[in-house]
Structure 1
Amino acid sequence: MYKHLLVALDDTPLGVTTVNRSLEFARALGARITFFYAAPDLTATGEGALLFSLDRQAFSDESDMPRHAVLLKASNAARIGGVVCSTDASISDHPAQAILDAAHRHACDLLFVSSHGRLPGLRGWLHGSVTHRLLQIADLPVHVASIESNDDEADANRALAIVLGEHRSIAAVLNGLQQLDQAGRINGKAPDLRLMHLMVDYLRQCPAKLHHPKEETFIFRLLRQHTGEHNAVLDELERQHTLENALIDSLSDALSRQERGQPDSQTAISAAVQRLSGAIWEHMSLEESVIFPAARRHLSSAEWSTVYQAFSAHEDPLRTHPSEVPVKQLFARIATALRQDPSDPSPE
């Protein structure tokens, strides 16, 4: 039986669906995973070549940010799911060959991929032709987990991929907060307060102001219209949304106290990080284990399309936030911080 899966990802909603399905598959087999992201060579484009010639650091940041976001979310999903994983990425204009090479490099025994199918245009790196080419050249078994254009649940999958992707973003930020707090306590030094403020800003701007309201307005409301079976759980989740806002404010206040040099502020930061992390982990677990499966059972395809349109409509607030640190760049900084923890798999 297969023991080590090479899971090829892109940065579309289908990539999130691939992560979730690969984790279910790996748990059933008792296998481990290497998540792999094949990035296109930006120097092959006129715009990329110009950026490379003008500002190599900016070019490097632009090249690295997608893989940091995709792989960090995937590794957090594996941690939540209890699956051992590592991550890898490479730059190639031949993604099928890059996927196969990565599988051999990591001694994997199964290639796990998804395909967008026959869709117009270039939708993501793992479009249909890549999967087709991989099937032609692979000397290892290939498991095609999903063909998006043939999937009867495509609307639900696309919508939940965005929702779950945002959950993984939140999880990455929480892990970053915990890691920075732990490093500060071990070293006896103040943590990186600016980075922690950016993480708090992300939690305030994205989950609190966008993610939670859309969950309530669309998924929760539509589920209530179909059945009253889960009303008590939905009421509790909405209460937790309000509580999370207060916990975010408490952490922000503790960080400000540390900046002012107030006594016991480090202890206050640690307590606030733990309270916030515990509350959000419990909240996301309840949604993913109870509410989202119930919504899958009850919501129609047209309703899932409405949910998808709602969640895909907003821009991540950190793209235009005054801090001028886009969310993918924030993920890159979190990934760098997490590399200090040898138990955490981070992009190679």
Structure 2
Amino acid sequence: MSADSYSGQESCKPVAVEKGVAMYRHLLVPIDETDLSTVTVGNAVELARALGARITFFHAQINRSSSFLINASENAGYNFQEQAGELLTKAEAAAQAQGVACAVASSVSDSLYQAIIDAAGEANCDLIFMASHGLRSNMGMTLGSQTLQVLMNSEIPVLVSSTRNLPIQTLAIGIIRNEHRLLAEVLRAWLHLGSTSIAAGGAPLDHQLLREMVHYIKAFPVALHHPKETEYLFARLRERTNEFDAELDELERQHERDRELADALAESVESYCAGKLGVAELDAAVNRYAHFMWEHMGREEGVILPAAQRELTDNDWNELNEAFSKNGDPRFSGTADANFRQLYSRIVALVPSPDGK
């Protein structure tokens, strides 16, 4: 067994070089449903991109026979299996957005650390990349103890990403990126539906599912996510520097353009449901919208977020984190969060996976 560790997203790449992990080509990254798991995914993707490596994201589920480990307060309608699927698909979307090859896997086990070790072996991984924040997840996964057990028992090297004392900016940025991943997965699922239908000779698409996807796009990124960025992140960055005003102006124009495109997409869906538009035409409209959003999110994540990390103060980040994590606006209620979470879960669950399972 060998083990290394690093702390913080910004130190990921240099530490990887200093500790000589450039030989690694396939990372196993266990994830859970905690907020810090989003940061772990981001760190793992950065490391894999620097190394030219690929990732297998892995989620170990508690055996249902060990029901005392399951949090009984889970919201009704938010299925355990759907939640596991959501975690893996969000992680996959994060990797694909950065051009990192990845796969996903999950298992049900009474021994989570052993499941992680077994998964690494089965996928022929040469490095296990884990977080260690000592927090128990709602599924019973105490990553602190599980990480220790993996370190003690794995014959595969383990790189531990310490996330217990994360910079406040990492948490705020993690929320923004996580919301990007949610939209990315809905769009990717929709593109999969269209291509599958076309390949089957124009097989009909589920009208309810299409309308739910449109509702998600119009009500979440357009009505909630973009205003948060404009009113909090963009405004703070404008106060600190005018270097990025032109880019921020363009992104705000794109926010308005997104509203127009989402309305047009809704019209396309209704035309399809009324039999006035074919599958190929609808798929073309979805592709246009998706490519617009890929470019938009890429500009935010590639230009604005790094600029904010350089320019904003700790007080700025404290305010941003509070606003984003608590949705500091009456429009962004906890009820709305729960509704969108459940809607996202339904969309992911209703869309067939590429292997047909």
Would you say same fold, with TM above 0.5? yes
The two structures have a TM-score, normalised by structure 2, of 0.83
The one of 222, 228, 246 aligned to 2:242: 228
Tell me how far 1:312 sits from its aligned partner.
2.1
Tell me how far 1:265 sits from its aligned partner.
4.7
The one of 164, 170, 184 aligned to 1:149: 164
The one of 280, 290, 299 aligned to 2:312: 299
1:271 is matched with 284
Q: 1:309 to 1:49 in 2, by over 3 A?
A: closer
1:199 aligns with 2:213: yes
1:158 is matched with 171
1:97 aligns with 2:114: yes
1:139 aligns with 2:155: yes
Partner SS state of residue 164, structure 2: helix
1:86 is matched with 103
Once the two structures are superposed, the pairs formed by residues 1-348 of structure 1 within 5 Å of their partners are: 1-45=23-67, 62-117=79-134, 125=141, 127-145=143-161, 147-151=162-166, 153=167, 155-186=168-199, 187-262=201-276, 264-314=277-327, 315=334, 317=336, 319-320=338-339, 326-334=343-351, 336-340=352-356
Tell me how far 1:13 sits from its aligned partner.
2.3
Tell me how far 1:143 sits from its aligned partner.
0.3
Gapped runs of 5+ residues in structure 2? 1-22, 328-333
Partner SS state of residue 10, structure 1: coil
Matching residue's letter, 1:278: H
The sequence identity of aligned pairs, in percent, is 37
Partner SS state of residue 150, structure 1: coil
Per-residue CA distance 1:89-110 (angstroms, 9 max, x = gap): 1123432222111111211111
Gapped runs of 5+ residues in structure 1? 52-57, 341-347
CA–CA separation in structure 2 for the residues paired with 1:237 and 1:49:
41
Name whichever of 215-224 and 124-133 sits farther off: 124-133
Q: 1:192 to 1:75 in 2, by over 3 A?
A: same
CA–CA separation in structure 2 for the residues paired with 1:66 and 1:193:
24
Q: 1:32 to 1:267 in 2, by over 3 A?
A: closer
Q: 1:126 to 1:82 in 2, by over 3 A?
A: farther
Per-residue CA distance 1:236-263 (angstroms, 9 max, x = gap): 111111111111111111111122222x
Q: 1:33 to 1:217 in 2, by over 3 A?
A: same
Q: 1:169 to 1:338 in 2, by over 3 A?
A: farther
Q: 1:45 to 1:15 in 2, by over 3 A?
A: same
Q: 1:210 to 1:338 in 2, by over 3 A?
A: farther
Per-residue CA distance 1:122-165 (angstroms, 9 max, x = gap): 588353222222212222111012x22234x2x11111111111
Q: More helix per residue: 1 or 2?
A: 1
Q: 1:66 to 1:290 in 2, by over 3 A?
A: same
Tell me how far 1:189 sits from its aligned partner.
2.7
RMSD of Structure 2 on Structure 1 (CA): 2.7
CA–CA separation in structure 1 for the residues paired with 2:129 and 2:317:
26
Partner SS state of residue 140, structure 1: coil
